[in-house]
Amino acid sequence: MAERVLMKGNEAIAEAAIRAGCRHYFGYPITPQTEIAAYMAKKMPKIGGVFLQAESEIASINMVYGAAAAGVRVMTSSSSPGVSLKAEGLSYIAGSDVPALVVNVQRGGPGLGGIQPSQSDYFQATKGGGHGDYRMIVLAPASVQEMASLTIKGFNLADKYLMTSMILADGTIGQMMEPISFEDAEIETYEKPWALTGTNCEREHNVVNSLYLKPDELEVKNFERYERYKIVEENEPMWEEYMMEDAEYCVVAFGIASRVAKNAVAAARAEGIKVGLIRPITLWPFPKKALLAAAEKVKSFICVELSMGQMIEDVKLYTQCKRPVSLCNRCGGMIPSPNEVLEAIRKAQKGEC
Amino acid sequence: MAVVFEKPKSLADIPLHYCPGCPHGIIHRLVAEVIDELGIEGKTIGVAPVGCAVMAYDYFTCDMIEAAHGRAPATATGIKRARPENIVFTYQGDGDLASIGMAETVHSAARNENITVIFVNNAIYGMTGGQMAPTSLPGQVTQTSPYGRDVNHCGWPIKVCEMLSTLEGPEYITRVAVNNVKNVKNAKKAIKKAFENQIAGKGFSLVEVVSACPTNWGMTPQKALEWVESDMLPYYPIGVYKDRSAAKEEK
């Protein structure tokens, strides 16, 4: 049996990153993700890696950009207000097609918001955040185990598709402790012939760049990038289905909200309500096919989110509004109880949504 | 016929986009000559700014990256920390380095990041058409200071070398100019030293090159070089502001 260790969610990300071959971490302090930086600060010097506390979130993401362009596995982590500051770098990294891993342990917003868990950066993560046409692979862990395994997966996907992988976690999963194993994730490596290594006077110079002053060239670049994104959308959606076989109602939730929702689904089943759960694990690419298939058989959907309702827009979009979608939400750092979600399921059954 | 003068290998044999009379061509050439002379072309990685030199990645034949506005020292930090065996330089203007990128400049200097920074100060935003820069002189007329820079309204120009030399961190902070042959020769010496410092692992070296912008200053190239002498250099005096190794040797 695989060795299991008890770890905090944030530390699991840091340890998984190191096991995935990441030896460069650049960050700036912000609650509630500080354990990641602290772990890296302790470990990196011992294993020949680099931990550097940058002067700002902006500097840290641009250090990530430089190190990524130099061809190493590199990451940064932050929380919501900090990720807003990183948006500039995220856009440049996307426009230059270099791979990076960025962690957002979300807290409530907008503005300085609060320091309690939230999922209100769904739009920012999945729809942009920075300027221009681009996408990031967005992975939403719902357990400490997934904090680890999705971090390793995130590095693999970033290198494979030359994109940023974002781990979109929240303060709860970041702070809680669960037993985990690191042995289920495979570490993939990819050649990086585009990297800045110095020409050694043996090849033409490599240029990492997002500037294309000729509009036709920029258009071609963007079309090419979106062709790559199409492959990601085809091959990489991940989701979990729970009690969906005979479901008449479908709860959709990710991250910590899905843990609460799962309890509520079990409780509703005990009352005889045929309800199931779809948990998107990749928020981009969104598990469109699973949602559309569910729309063919269930009577309605219930979105459970720690926001004012952001993922619900994608649920409506990808179910093509074939069925009603209701929202069961808390925000600002509040988390719904299983009973609140159960009540939302009961309402859906009564057709009150 | 004998070839007596060639383009440096580190500079691509293509036309530069700079305006007639712009000293960027001279400064590019000095950097490229130094890279050639030190034999580091194969391991140098350059970081281009946002500003007039934005397309420097096309001109230098070493590996190049285009940074976000002002972030070149941070991007260079990422590269250098990932590949300490490579030689990493940034090439930045005054808006890039002393305005939007001031935090990145100060902190990379404070960390004594082992990189070389070429800072071209022409007291104006050139690329965007001549707006007031953090280094525009008091009274200087620009597109966004049409009545002359009023220091009571928008503050005083920033003397980057003077400021950075107050820090413990950096190895070498110097200001040069390229308005005459003598100054060009001295500028090259300073640039060479800034690269040699990095090769020797001494740390952060910044060469401020007082330059000119005939187009946006609204002057002929000749007149612009005269204005460097008469107006720029009195405010931004040429000199070595910090040289830690030299100071140690003196002791």
Instruction: Return the domain boundaries, chain A.
Output: 5-194+209-235, 239-349
Find the mean pLDDT for residues A245-274.
98
Q: Which residue has the tokens 């380095």?
A: B97
Question: Which chain A positions have a beta carbon within 8 Å of B104's beta carbon?
Answer: 55, 58-59, 62
| Percent of the residues in chain A that have a pLDDT greater than 90, as a whole number | 97
The answer to whether residue B10 is domain-embedded is no
Asked whether the beta carbons of residue A207 and residue B64 sit closer than 8 angstroms, the reply is: yes
**Minimum distance, in Å, between the CA of residue A226 and any CA atom of chain B:** 22
Residue B74 resides in a domain: yes
Q: Which residues of B are less than 8 Å from A56 in CB distance? A: 103
Q: Does B68 touch chain A (CB under 8 A)?
A: yes
Which residue of chain A comes nearest to B40, CA vs CA?
Answer: A200
Residue B208 covered by a domain: yes
Q: Given CA atoms A172, A176, A178, A180 in this order, what sign does their dihedral have?
A: positive
Q: What confidence tens digit (pLDDT) does each residue in A155-202 have? A: 999 999 999 999 999 999 999 999 999 987 799 999 999 999 999 999
Is residue A62 over pLDDT 90? yes
What span, in angstroms and rounded, lies between the C-alpha atoms of B227 and B221?
A: 10
Whole-number pLDDT of residue B77: 98
What would the mean pLDDT of A278-305 be, rounded to a whole number?
98
Is the Cβ pair A62, B62 closer than 8 Å? no
Q: Is the pLDDT of residue A1 over 60?
A: no
Q: Distance between CA A211 and CA B87 in Å, rounded?
A: 24
| CATH for B74 | 3.40.50.970
Output the six-digit token pair for A126: 């999945």
Residues of B in contact with A70 (CB under 8 A): 45, 78-79, 82-83, 86
Phi, psi (deg, nearest 5) at residue A180? -140, 165
Assigned CATH topology for domain A5-194+209-235: Rossmann fold (3.40.50)
Reported in sequence order, the residue ranges of chain B that DSSP labels E, i.e. its strands, are 44-48, 63-66, 87-93, 116-121, 172-177, 205-210, 239-243
Identify whether B19 is part of a domain. Answer: no
Residue B1 placed within a domain:
no
Q: Is A111 left (phi over 0), alpha (psi -120 to 50) or beta?
A: left
| Facing residue for B74 by CB, picked from A63, A197, A208 | A63
Prediction pTM value: 0.97
b/e per residue, B93-115, with b = 16+ CB within 10 A? Answer: bbbbbbbbbbbbbbbbbebbbbb
Q: How far is CA A2 from CA A5, A20, A182, B60, B85, in A?
A: 10, 17, 8, 52, 39
The pLDDT score that the predictor gives to residue B251 is 76
Q: What are phi and psi of A107, to 5 degrees?
A: -125, 170
Chain A residues touching B10 at Cβ < 8 A = none
Tell me the mean pLDDT in the region A289-293. Answer: 98
**3-class secondary-structure state, position A250:** strand
Min CA distance, B249 vs chain A (Å)? 31
Give the one of A64, A198, A208 whose C-beta lies nearest to B65's C-beta: A208
Tell how strand A282-284 and strand A137-139 pair up: antiparallel
Kindly tell me if the per-residue pLDDT of A341 is higher than 80: yes
Q: Of A72, A209, A55, which is closest to residue B113 (Cα–Cα)?
A: A55
Residue-range definition of the domain harbouring residue B144 = 24-243
Q: How many CA atoms lie within 13 A of A323 on its CB side?
A: 26
The tokens of B127 are what?
């690329």
Q: Give the Å distances, CA to CA, from A49 to A25, A46, A52, A101, A243.
A: 8, 7, 10, 16, 44
Distance between CA atoms of residues A123 and A284, nearest Å: 11
Phi, psi of B59 (to 5 degrees): -90, -35
Task: Measure the CA–CA gap between A303 and A285, rounded to whole angstroms.
Answer: 18
Selected for mutation to probe chain A from B77, B88, B97 (highest A CB count within 10 Å) is: B77
Smallest CA–CA distance, residue B247 to chain A, in Å, is: 28
Q: How far is CA A140 from CA A122, A178, A182, A300, B192, in A?
A: 10, 17, 18, 24, 50
Q: What token pair was written down for A65?
A: 């950009």
- A211 to B41: CB separation less than 8 angstroms, yes or no: no
In a domain, B142, yes or no: yes
Contact A60 B65 (CB under 8 A): no
Cα distance between residue A104 and residue A76, in whole Å: 9
Contact with chain A for residue B171, Cβ under 8 A: no
Angstrom distance (rounded) from CA A76 to CA A238:
23
Whether B75 sits inside 8 A of A69 (CB atoms) is: yes
Coil/strand/helix, residue A333: coil
Total domains present in chain B: 1
What is the Cα–Cα distance from A317 to A237, expressed in whole angstroms?
Answer: 16
**Which residues have a Cβ under 8 Å from the Cβ of A51 and sit 6 or more positions away?**
A25, A37, A40, A41, A43, A44, A45
Domain A239-349 has CATH 3.40.190.10: no
Low-confidence ranges of chain B (pLDDT < 50): none
Asked if pLDDT for residue A223 goes beyond 60, the answer is yes
| Cα–Cα distance list, B41 to A69, A200, B33, B88, B89 (Å) | 18, 7, 10, 11, 12
Q: Where are the alpha helices (DSSP H) in B24-180?
A: 24-38, 56-59, 72-82, 94-95, 102-110, 151-154, 160-164
pLDDT of residue A352: 78
Of A54, A67, A205, the CB nearest to B63: A205
Q: For A131-158, write each residue's pLDDT tens digit.
A: 999 999 999 999 999 999 999 999 999 9
CA distance B204 to chain A (A): 16
B62 touches chain A (CB under 8 A): yes
Residue of B nearest to A76 (CA): B78
